[in-house]
């Protein structure tokens, strides 16, 4: 009986020792005692940006005194607008040029050629003059709506709604003209997969719409009638792709029709050409806080790239290196 008990104890001891060895192998304990998990999501090697691909330099920044920074826009005169608990306006040099309060925090905004400021609230749009005069309040998009982006086209106002997983198309007066992004195989639209409320849109000068399809790590192209016109982008940790979850988080178009995108997780701002081919980096991960997110982007008439950096409480301005 005693021998059997001792034998059982030895077996249990051996099992425990084997499990410990397994754990040590899994964690790959180095001589220094540091534990490294081979299955860890490690992005450190992708933080570095080759010098020849970093083709922009930060030339200015402004610190808006606005809480809860969410959205960024530039108007035809290159004035800079930011929105959060209020709207703040700056001139091209980043000097204060106005602003106004809001009845509730704004989540995004866009400015048309007449100086009308379209502010996206949680479930609707409010339109203001530059002096803060409220010109219109559009109807609610519904209880589930969450407005994440507004883009002004040649004849349309496009409103991205994460809650409904689609883009609403309006005219300038708020009259609904259509819905874009709903699954419709007959029109080459597979439907939008949006795991988190990173859903940005940009309007092309030709009247078409570009939308960040974050669940598929790509950018979709739609006609104003909602027909699918194609897409570009790929999933990759390397600079030419989009990595992690819900990227690109923001996008904008340059005057020449190129794309500027930003990402979260591995925060970086990049430029792609008109066909969606990677061109260069505006700002790399080491230029942002590690938890940087909400990097809304805009481009002015000179091609300067403006980046909203909520973690730094700033609008950062980047110019192409000479």
pLDDT at site 316: 98
pLDDT at site 41: 52
Containing H/E element for 279?
Answer: strand 278-283
Residuewise pLDDT in 10s, the chain (322 residues): 433 443 443 333 433 334 343 333 333 333 444 444 444 455 677 788 999 999 999 999 999 999 999 999 999 999 999 999 999 999 999 999 999 999 999 999 999 999 999 999 999 999 999 999 999 999 999 999 999 999 999 999 999 999 999 999 999 999 999 999 999 999 999 999 999 999 999 999 999 999 999 999 999 999 999 999 999 999 999 999 999 889 999 999 999 999 999 999 999 999 999 999 999 999 999 999 999 999 999 999 999 999 999 999 999 999 999 8
The strand pair at 218-222 and 228-232 is best described as antiparallel
Domains for the chain: give ranges and CATH numbers.
Answer: 1-40 (no CATH), 47-320 (2.120.10.30)
Dist CA 250 CA 295 (whole Å): 7
E strands present in 91-245:
96-101, 108-111, 117-120, 125-128, 134-137, 147-152, 157-161, 166-170, 176-180, 201-203, 209-213, 218-222, 228-232
pLDDT at site 9: 37
CB proximity list for 235: less than 8 A, separation 6 or greater: 217, 241, 242, 243
pLDDT at site 7: 42
Which of 243, 252, 240 has its CA nearest to residue 214?
A: 243
Dist CA 140 CA 261 (whole Å): 29
pLDDT at site 57: 98
Provide the phi-psi class of 27: left if phi over 0, else alpha when psi is between -120 and 50, else beta. alpha
pLDDT at site 82: 98
């Amino acid at each position: 009986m005693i021998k059997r008990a001792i034998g059982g104890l030895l077996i249990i001891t051996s099992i425990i020792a084997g499990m410990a060895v397994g754990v040590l192998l899994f964690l790959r304990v180095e001589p220094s005692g540091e534990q490294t998990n081979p299955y860890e999501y490690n992005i450190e090697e992708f933080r570095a940006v080759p010098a020849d691909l970093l083709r922009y330099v930060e030339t200015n920044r402004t610190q808006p005194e606005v809480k809860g920074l969410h959205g960024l826009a530039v108007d035809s005169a290159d004035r800079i607008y930011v929105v959060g608990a209020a709207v703040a306006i700056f001139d091209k040099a980043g000097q204060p040029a106005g602003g106004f309060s809001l009845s509730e925090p704004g989540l995004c905004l866009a400015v048309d050629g007449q100086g009308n400021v379209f502010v996206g609230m949680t479930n609707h749009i409010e339109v203001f003059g530059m002096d803060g005069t409220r010109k219109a309040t559009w109807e609610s998009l519904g209880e589930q709506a969450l407005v994440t982006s507004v883009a002004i086209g040649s004849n349309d106002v496009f409103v991205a709604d994460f809650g409904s997983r689609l883009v609403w198309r309006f005219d300038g007066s708020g009259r609904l003209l259509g819905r874009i992004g709903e699954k419709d195989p007959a029109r080459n639209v597979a439907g939008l997969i949006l795991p988190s409320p990173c859903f940005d849109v940009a309007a092309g000068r030709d009247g078409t719409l570009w939308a960040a399809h974050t669940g598929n790590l790509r950018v979709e192209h739609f006609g104003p009638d909602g027909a699918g016109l194609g897409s570009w982008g790929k999933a990759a940790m390397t600079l030419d792709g989009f990595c992690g979850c819900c990227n690109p988080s923001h996008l904008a178009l340059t005057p020449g029709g190129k794309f500027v995108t930003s990402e979260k997780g591995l925060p970086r701002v990049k430029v792609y050409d008109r066909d969606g081919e990677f061109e260069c980096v505006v700002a790399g991960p080491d230029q942002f806080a590690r938890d940087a997110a909400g990097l809304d982007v805009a481009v002015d008439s000179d091609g300067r790239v403006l980046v909203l950096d909520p973690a730094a409480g700033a609008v950062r301005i980047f110019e192409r290196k000479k």
